[in-house]
A and B are shown apart, each in its own frame.
Chain A
Amino acid sequence: MIGRRHLPTLFLVLSLVGIGVLSANSGALNPYFLDVAVGAGINIILAVSLNLVNGHTGQFSLGHAGFMAVGAYAGAAVTLFAGPAVLVGTEAALPHALLFLGALTVAGLVAAFAGLAVGLPSLRLHGDYLALVTLGFGEIIRVLLQNCEPLGGALGLFGLPAYTTLGWTFGAAAITIYTVHMLVNSTRGLGFHAVRDDELAARASGLDLTRIKLSAFLVGAFFAGVAGALFAHFKLSIDPKGFDFTRSVEIVVMVILGGMGRTWGVVTAAVVLTVLPEYLREFSDYRMVSYALILVLLMLLRPHGIFGEKRPTPPPPTRP
């Protein structure tokens, strides 16, 4: 018996099947289109997972590219170093798929562990301070990778197997959207919003701040890691420069543009910000400038994001 509460689960299963069918028949599609579509899917995963931290929980993190890097290198390490031993030269599809599934899982878990490492000391920080710590974390990861010879140093890792397909990417995106949706839409999930709105009132209402913030950080970092591994096996080579500060800013812009805390708005923004630069390639030098402009205009005209609902925030009624 399937009750109403299982509708999202049903939706997830149906979309996974749909994505699978689509992916199996994607050979006929234009390779350029496929390229853009996979990029959009990866950005959806990044934006929706960051939205849990920045939008729902109100913890302004600027280190999402750092978690993505951790995942990318962890996933690449699995397929490059463990792959040959596991596969022993087989051409069958199933072992390759299982290896990739394992690589994605490892990537997510290692990134989540990094999320724990950053989250724990950052819990006492707010606003700008937290943004600075997460920004610093992202840079530390990049510099560490640049100087880590076993992981290719500044040259990075290359010759990765081309595992990432439309199916894997959008399957992972569907699971990300599902997880964030299910986490947030429940009585317990309201705790994320409570922490965002008023930390003291949340604690006085019996909510464990540490637990809530850490779970947002962990889940967010996990999916950033998965996105990183997908990215690695899509580009087939990775280097530390691909995960710098500008990448983090890109993801933050998607979240703000889509409206903090609005899943579908953020998904739309991720797609738009993937596709739009393709059409504006000749102006690519101005990309960061235009991001800054977009943000300034957005804050002036629509502070709740283009797709964000207007939340009423009149000043509190202050009678003495």
Chain B
Amino acid sequence: MSEQLLRLDRVTVRFGGLTAVNELDLAVAPGELVGIIGPNGAGKTTVFNVITGVCRPGEGSVSLDGEGISGMPVHEIAARGVARTFQNIRLFRGMTVFDNVRVACHAGLPRGLHHSLLRTRAWAAAEEQARLRADSLLEVLGLAARRAAPAASLSYGEQRRLEIARALALKPRLLLLDEPAAGMNPSEKADLIGLIRRIHAEFGLGILLVEHSMSVVMGLCTRIAVLDYGRKIAEGSPAQVRADPAVIEAYLGESAPHS
């Protein structure tokens, strides 16, 4: 099991008396697309916050490619190849679409004051690289035409895509998508499924997806983990999860899942 990209080992997170995540085991293999579902308040976003270092696990450990990352600062975990989007979109609203992506293309830029003050050759080359990469990501996500627009002026769907572009700019090995389909209509959801498939194939990423929309999760993921009150109550293929009585009772209720 050492070839797992991401591994959560008996992770527990408590906020005061509330146990948000309870002894969670979870693994994502390189290039795998895994979904997390669960009712509101099941601890899904907390799992993301633990993985990205926003909160520390009280017990248990998180490792990336076998290296323990729990307790590392957020930016170091990001630099190791874990990128994320947010449930409530968090863009750099005062900056242009292009700059939102470019700011995350900082890997490989020379450090040191003299580089930026004197515009050295190394600085110029790295700067050009960052610009090219930002532009190619905007192309992939269909935002090239909005390049110079302020991020705040984008439509809701475009803002979601811009967040994904910014996350991809980190050259991640693992991409965490927090409810990317929230608030989308069925045709937008279909587009999103196509987009996530394309990114998954093109960049060869492991993707962990938190989502409420059954059509999106069932359509994309090869494996799904179901959380309820911070505990994993089921895990398996979409068909297995859909048939699991515990899931039906805790999450889906009496009726069968619908889109």
Contact = CB atoms under 8 A, between A and B. Distances in A.
A90 interface: no
A312 B95 contact: no
A208 interface: yes
A319 interface: yes
Interface in A127-147: none
A197 B124 contact: no
A124 interface: no
A188 interface: yes
Contacts of A207: 75, 103, 106
Contacts of A208: 73, 75
Contacts of B52: 204
A204 B78 contact: yes
Given A186-B123, A204-B52, A205-B104, A198 B92 contact: yes
Given A187-B109, A206-B78, A207-B75, A6 B95 contact: no
B118 interface: yes
B152 A206 contact: no
Given A203-B74, A314-B152, A317-B156, A179 B117 contact: yes
Interface in B148-172: 150, 152-153, 155-156, 159, 166, 169-170
A189 B116 contact: yes
B193 to A, nearest CB: 18
B78 A313 contact: no
Contacts of B91: 197-198, 201
Of listed A182, A186, A200, A207, residue having the most chain B CB within 10 A: A186
B120 to A, nearest CB: 9
Interface string B76-114: 001100011010011111110001001111110100000
B27 interface: no
Given A201-B92, A206-B104, A316 B152 contact: yes
B140 interface: no
Contacts of A201: 86, 90-92, 166
Contacts of B104: 205-206
A205 B150 contact: no
A89 interface: no
A242 B96 CA distance: 41
A281 interface: no
A298 interface: no
Contacts of B105: 187
Nearest to B119: A5
B103 A205 contact: yes
A288 to B, nearest CB: 30
A193 B94 contact: yes
B214 interface: no
Contacts of B83: 204-205
B94 A203 contact: no
Nearest to B156: A317
B90 to A, nearest CB: 4
Of listed B52, B73, B92, B155, residue having the most chain A CB within 10 A: B92
B233 interface: no
A121 interface: no
A9 interface: yes
B68 interface: no
Contacts of A312: 150, 152-153
B37 to A, nearest CB: 17
A96 interface: no
Contacts of A6: 119
Interface of B: 52, 54, 73-75, 78-79, 83-84, 86, 89-95, 99, 102-107, 109, 116-119, 123-124, 126-127, 130-131, 150, 152-153, 155-156, 159, 166, 169-170, 182-184
Given A178-B117, A182-B116, A204-B54, 14 more contacts: A5-B119, A179-B117, A187-B130, A193-B95, A198-B91, A201-B90, A204-B84, A205-B166, A206-B170, A207-B106, A311-B94, A311-B150, A319-B156, A320-B183
Interface of A: 3, 5-6, 8-9, 178-179, 182-183, 186-191, 193-194, 196-198, 200-209, 311-314, 316-317, 319-320
Query: 6 smallest A-B Cβ distances: which pairs?
Result: A319-B183, A206-B78, A197-B92, A203-B74, A190-B103, A201-B90
